[in-house]
Amino acid sequence: MVRLATVAHPFHARVIAARVGAEGILTELRGSVDGPYPMGDVHIYVPEIDLPIAQELLLADEVESAFDDEEDFGETGAPPALWLILAAMIVLSVLLITRQF
């Protein structure tokens, strides 16, 4: 077994192990995984022959997650705050126009 990754939290280590395991790669977690106060790094190990595949999976997941950080503004493509500002400007314009006449 060779080290695939080292993470700071057992939950993160279990997520990585589950992701790699979903592709049929065996994993082993070493370090502070269980216990009442899990503290310290957790190391994820995979068989040496599966290391390149596991590294590709993690890299692909990182690339995909980079695109997940974008805000989803729905069908319009504009942030909700922009619509509120636009609506306020229209209401203000209508009030100013009706006061002049």
Q: Does residue 12 sit in the same domain as residue 37? A: yes
Q: Does residue 7 sit in the same domain as residue 54? A: yes
Q: Does residue 33 sit in the same domain as residue 57? A: yes
CATH code, 24: 3.30.70
pLDDT digits (tens, 9 = 90+) for 13-56: 999 999 999 999 999 999 888 777 767 889 999 999 999 999 99
DSSP code per residue over the chain: -EEEEEESSHHHHHHHHHHHHTTT---EEEES-SSSS--S-EEEEE-GGGHHHHHHHHHHHHHHHHHHTS---TTS-S-HHHHHHHHHHHHHHHHHHHHH-
Q: Does residue 13 sit in the same domain as residue 56? A: yes
Q: How high is the pLDDT of residue 76?
A: 55
Tell me which residue range forms the domain holding 90: 74-101
Q: Tokens for 63, please give them.
A: 């690339």
Q: Does residue 63 sit in the same domain as residue 78? A: no
Total tally of structural domains belonging to the chain: 2
Rounded to the nearest integer, the mean pLDDT of the chain is: 82
Q: Does residue 12 sit in the same domain as residue 32? A: yes
Q: Does residue 65 sit in the same domain as residue 79? A: no
Q: Does residue 31 sit in the same domain as residue 13? A: yes
Identify which has the larger pLDDT, 57 or 99: 57
Tell me if the pTM is above 0.85: no
Q: Does residue 45 sit in the same domain as residue 21? A: yes
Q: Does residue 65 sit in the same domain as residue 82? A: no
